[in-house]
Amino acid sequence: MKKLAVLVVPLWCAAAGAPPAIDSLVDMARAVPGEFAADAMIRIAAIDSLEKARRVRLLEEAFQRAAESQEPYRRRAGITKVVGSSGFLNRAFDQDLDALTLRLRVVEALLPLDKDKARDLFQQIPPIQLSKLTCAQFLVYDVARFYQVLGRVAREGFTPKQVEKREPFRLLLQHAGAVASPAQVIPAAQMIAKSGLPDADFQAVAAAYAGALGRIGGDDRSFTYAHSTGPAILALVDELKARKMSPLPLLEGYRLYLVSNLSAPRCGDDDLMLSFGQSFGLADGGPLVIANDIEYFNKALRLPPLQLIGESEATPSKVEGAAEGLRTCEDTDCQSIARKFRDLILRPNGVAFAPADKETQEWHASFEDFLNALASWKENDNVPAAQLYRNKCGVYSELLNTVTKQEEREAVAHALLQFVQASRFQAENRIQWFLPVNALLGRAALDPANMGKLMPEFRQSHDPIIALYAQLEMLAPRTPDRIMPLL
């Protein structure tokens, strides 16, 4: 990683001092769809050599363009125990191109530059409204970053006079009482516990949150995904106790939240989402394995006069429904490609080919045949376009990890780029469509000696999004920690 820094930083510094190049890049950004325009402007605004006023203007423009993103919120695959699309979708959302995350990135970037502007823009973010999920859906919402930024704005975004007028309190009170989805329960509790509000204000915010908890229900997919809520509630209980305030209203709200959701209709595949067995130390000093939120409440949280949560209160009214579209590669074309790929990396006895085996003419011929078969893999009426796109890009990515020669890596990368540029899937879902390109650009940045030779092809792409990001990687390169999650 240190070697990468040596390669990238001089290029970044040289490019940062070239206003015409930056002007051109900003013009390119303005011509692409909103999520890409906003992302590019945020990255350009991070260039320290730009004057502060221009950085602020770029961030304001990015905030406005973020509204055009096809995805309003960051999401995660709630089920990862089934081989399928989960990994691809998680990486797609890790690009931080949803509307809410883009706006939050703007606020974070503005806080050290212009805290008044940062606060004002944060307050312009539309209220979080997460639709209730059905059991057929496996993507759940992830809004944790909103509450992290909310906490920062409350601590850093107000003047002493505004603090005296209790404006941070009113901001936190508004959002604590608006918690309406299981996806908000943990991050909101964590934010309140660390808010640092004066006692009276803290108690009012905690009470608003407790009241909101009892009203949450009707979304088992999100509830089951956010099952490890106990520790976050305990941290808030401890903070209340430290301030000599009763945690009973909070615990009453939390108990109602658990019982209402546990006794409601549940999804039939909840077992694919759960991961129990964490160990927590309690007052007696002995380790206790908490199997689930019921046991955590009963053994670590409950205080008299609250009753234990019994079996009758935790029994679902019915169990039915399961995620759809999670499993992939069930059609004959995909299975044929999978068999060919297996034959390319494994001998008939299941032993992987050694590096020396991949130097033979026979193996290279098999590689060429597979690359041709992959290029010929087309859409059909039985497989959704999104599924084919994810499957095919996944195979290309695995192939990049398999080949050892530079010319083979270049051939795979070129084939993947050609496929992405020709795909009609961009119109349906821009964030998913862009992931393979973003990952390829990241590979080129991490391995400039080999993959870097593809950069001219990226920069000359007829697709304005690809051409923009190729230029962006030169002028405002990402650090390795921003690239690795995409690979």
pLDDT in tens, 65-106: 999 999 999 999 998 776 678 999 999 999 999 999 999 999
Nearest to 191 by CA among 219, 211, 217, 171: 171
Structural contact between residues 76 and 485, judged by C-beta atoms closer than 8 angstroms: no
pLDDT per residue rounded down to tens, the chain (487 residues): 333 443 333 333 433 333 458 999 999 999 999 999 999 999 999 999 999 999 999 999 999 999 999 999 999 999 877 667 899 999 999 999 999 999 999 999 999 999 999 999 999 999 999 999 999 999 999 999 999 999 999 999 999 999 999 999 999 999 999 999 999 999 999 999 999 999 999 999 999 999 999 999 999 999 999 989 999 999 999 999 999 999 999 999 999 999 999 999 999 999 888 654 332 233 333 333 345 899 999 999 999 999 999 999 999 999 999 998 887 888 899 999 999 999 999 998 889 988 888 889 999 999 999 999 999 998 887 888 899 999 999 999 999 988 888 889 899 999 999 999 999 999 999 999 999 999 999 998 888 887 778 888 899 999 999 999 999 999 999 999 999 999 8
Cis peptide before 305 (omega within 30 of 0): yes
Task: Please report, as a single letter, which amino acid is at residue 33.
Answer: P
Q: Which pair of structure tokens corresponds to residue 115?
A: 């805290």
**Token pair 């809410």: residue:** 100
pTM comes to 0.90
Spatial distance between the Cα atoms of 382 and 295, rounded to a whole number of angstroms: 45
Nearest-angstrom CA–CA distance, 466 and 311 = 56
Chain position carrying tokens 């033979």? 360
Measure CA of the first residue to CA of the last residue in the chain; give whole Å. Answer: 16
Residues with Cβ < 8 Å from 14, sequence gap 6 or more?
Answer: none
Assess contact for 309 and 298: CB atoms under 8 A. yes
HSE-up of 297 (CA within 13 Å, CB side)? 24
| Tokens 């009012």, residue located | 204
Q: What phi and psi, each to the nearest 5 degrees, are found at residue 383?
A: -125, 125
Q: Number of helices (H) and strands (E), helices first, in the chain?
A: 25, 4
